[in-house]
Amino acid sequence: MKYEGGVYMENHVLNIDNRERLTVTEVADVDSFNEETILITLKSGGLVIKGQKLHIQKLDLAEGKAIITGEINSAVYTEKKNKSEKSLVRRIFE
């Protein structure tokens, strides 16, 4: 376990191949997805993936791994939220 940016990180990997395939580990849940935005909860925070024609090719929560395909434009980490805070999805759509 490593301490970075105020967060303890597990052995987390984010790999983007040719902006067409994204592989991420330490996935705890997928909060929301459509062809333009995917919101993922990681064990150490969140990840917002944006692009076009996005598809979740593989999701294995037991293994903590997801594979996303499509035109990937960005992958942005978010901080882990307290349980008392509203989810990102609720804040966006309120």
Between 5 and 55, name the one with better pLDDT: 55
CATH of 13-79, one of 2.60.40.2000, 3.40.800.10, 1.10.1200.10, 3.40.50.150: 2.60.40.2000
Beta strands in 18-64 (DSSP E): 21-25, 27-33, 37-42, 45-60
pTM higher than the cut 0.85 = no
pLDDT value at position 44? 85
Instruction: For residue 29, give both structure tokens.
Output: 């849940």
pLDDT digits (tens, 9 = 90+) for 23-74: 999 999 999 999 999 999 998 899 999 999 999 999 999 999 999 999 999 9
CA dist., res. 66 & res. 48, Å (int): 13
Domain extents in the chain: 13-79
pLDDT over threshold 60, residue 86: no
For residue 20, is pLDDT > 60? yes
User: Is the confidence at residue 2, as pLDDT, over 90?
Assistant: no
